[in-house]
Structure 1
Amino acid sequence: MALNNLNYPLDFKFKITTFASDFNITDKNGSYVAYVRQKMFKLKEDVIVFNDESKSKELFRIKANQWIDFNASYSLNEVATGKNFGRLARKGMRSIWKASYDILDANDQAKFKIQEDSAWVRFLDGFVGELPIIGMFTGYFLNPTYTVTGVDGKAYFKLKKMPSFFGRRFQLDRLIDINDDEESSVILSLLMMTLLERARG
C-alpha cells in the first residue's frame, strides 16, 4: 500500500491526551488516512504509521539509522512488503537556524529537499515562546511553513503549521503531481520531519 490517490490538503492533528507523540491524518473530506505513533523511551526514533487509531494494522515503519545524532537519517519502509522508500536525512549545522532535510530514494540518490521557508519565524517562535503568558499564544501567530522541492527546482509540496495551541495542527498540500512511490517517500519524510521539528519547538 502506498500513500497516494489522496484528497489534499491533508491535516495532521496531534493528540494532547497521550504522552506519546501521536497524531491523526485526515484528508480534505475528513476521511481517515493514517494514525502516526512515535514509540516512547527509545534511544533511536521509531515511528509506526497505522491504518487508523485502532492500531490494528501497521502500514509503514520509520526508524533512525543510528544512535541519536546531529546528522541522523531515517529509513522509510512498508511493513507488509518490506519495501524501502528511501530515507530522510537531516542536514546537521544548517538545521540550527532553518530546518533542512534531504529525501533520498532506495538507491541513496537525492530526490527532494525539505526547506523551512523562514529562519526568522523559527527564531521568534523560540524567543517569544519562552516568555511567560505571551509564550502560550505563539502557536496562533508564529507558524512556520516548509516547502518540498525536487532536484528539478520545482516546488512539489507545502507543509504549514496551522494556528493552534501547543502546535497541534499541520496542513499538507500537494502543488504538483508526482509518481506513487515518490509521493509515499515525501509524505513519510514529512511525517518524521514534523515530529522532529515539533519536538524542537
Structure 2
Amino acid sequence: MSQYNYPLHFKFRISTFSNDFEATDSLGNTLFYVREKILTWRDQMKVYSNGTKDELLYEIKSNKLIDFQQTFAITNSQGDMVGKVRRKTISSLWKSTFKVMDASDSHDYTIKEKNAFVKMWDGVFGEIPIIGMLSGYVFNPSYILSSTAGEPLFELKKEPSFFGRKFTVDKLTSNDVDEERLILSLVVMVLIERSRG
C-alpha cells in the first residue's frame, strides 16, 4: 500500500536566496520541506518535516566540488545511509540521467529525462531576451524513474509557471517500492535540474 497520496507537489519559494521548496500530497498535507544550503564548498541540502525547520529528517551531501559524476549521499537524522543519487554527466549532455543506488551502492533504479528535445529548445529559447522569460510556460521537461528492469515507477513533470517553480510527481505502479528513498532521489534530481527552465 502506498504511503503517500498522489500526485505529490513540489513548490519552490521565490522569496528566499536559497533553493527552498515544500512537498505536499494531493490532500494538501506537508510531507517535508527542503532547503538547499548556499555558500558551501559542496552542494548540501537539508530535509525537514515542515517549513518551521524544527525537525531534521534527512541530509543530502555531494561528494565533489565540481559537477562531474557527482554523487549525492542521503542520510537520515541518525546519520544512517539511506541511498545515493549519481548524475551520469556524459549522458546528461543529451538526456539527463541519474543512477539511484541503495545504502550498499547497488544501482537499482534510474531517472531519465523523457524527451531530450525539450532540453535543447529550452536552452535555445532561454537565451533570447524577453522571450526567454516565457520558456517556462512552453518547455516543461518530465522525467521517468524506472527499475533497472525498465519498469516505469514514477513520473516527475515540471508544471507551466513563470519562475519554473512547480513540479508534480505521479506514481505509475501499484507495486510496493521503497517510496521514501525514491521520492528523496527525485528531490535531488529536481534541485539539480530546476535551473534548466
Is 1:7 equivalent to 2:5 in the alignment?
Answer: yes
Instruction: Please give the per-residue CA displacement for 1:59-97, whole angstroms capped at 9, x wherever unaligned.
Output: 011111222231110001111x33312100110111112
Q: Which amino acid aligns with 1:99?
A: S
TM-score (norm 1): 0.93
Is 1:103 equivalent to 2:100 in the alignment?
Answer: yes
Q: Which amino acid aligns with 1:119?
A: A
The 1-side partners of 2:163 and 2:21 are apart by 13
Structure 1 segment 73-88 matched on structure 2, within 5 A: 73-79=71-77, 81-88=78-85
Is 1:198 equivalent to 2:191 in the alignment?
Answer: no
Q: Which amino acid aligns with 1:165?
A: F
The 1-side partners of 2:121 and 2:195 are apart by 16
What SS does the corresponding residue of 2:68 show, helix, strand or coil? coil
The 2-side partners of 1:87 and 1:179 are apart by 20
The 2-side partners of 1:176 and 1:46 are apart by 31
**How many percent identity over aligned positions?**
41
Structure 1, unaligned runs of 5 or more: none
Match of 1:187 among 180, 183, 188: 183
The 1-side partners of 2:146 and 2:34 are apart by 24
Runs of 4+ in 1 over 6 A off after TM superposition: none
Match of 2:14 among 3, 10, 16: 16
The 1-side partners of 2:175 and 2:48 are apart by 23
Which residue of structure 2 aligns with residue 148 of structure 1? 145
Query: RMSD over aligned Cα, in angstroms?
Result: 1.3
Which residue of structure 2 aligns with residue 26 of structure 1? 24
The 2-side partners of 1:151 and 1:124 are apart by 29
Maintained 8 Å contact 2:123/2:196? no
Which residue of structure 2 aligns with residue 131 of structure 1? 128
Q: CA deviation at 1:110?
A: 0.8
Q: CA deviation at 1:200?
A: 4.3
Q: Which amino acid aligns with 1:32?
A: T
Instruction: Please give the per-residue CA displacement for 1:106-134, whole angstroms capped at 9, x wherever unaligned.
Output: 11111100000111000100110111221
Count of paired positions: 196
Q: Which amino acid aligns with 1:133?
A: I
Which residue of structure 1 aligns with residue 66 of structure 2? 68
The 1-side partners of 2:185 and 2:145 are apart by 10
Is 1:47 equivalent to 2:34 in the alignment?
Answer: no
What SS does the corresponding residue of 1:18 show, helix, strand or coil? coil
The 1-side partners of 2:87 and 2:171 are apart by 22
Instruction: Please give the per-residue CA displacement for 1:151-172, whole angstroms capped at 9, x wherever unaligned.
Output: 1210000000000011110000
Structure 2, unaligned runs of 5 or more: none
The 2-side partners of 1:107 and 1:178 are apart by 23
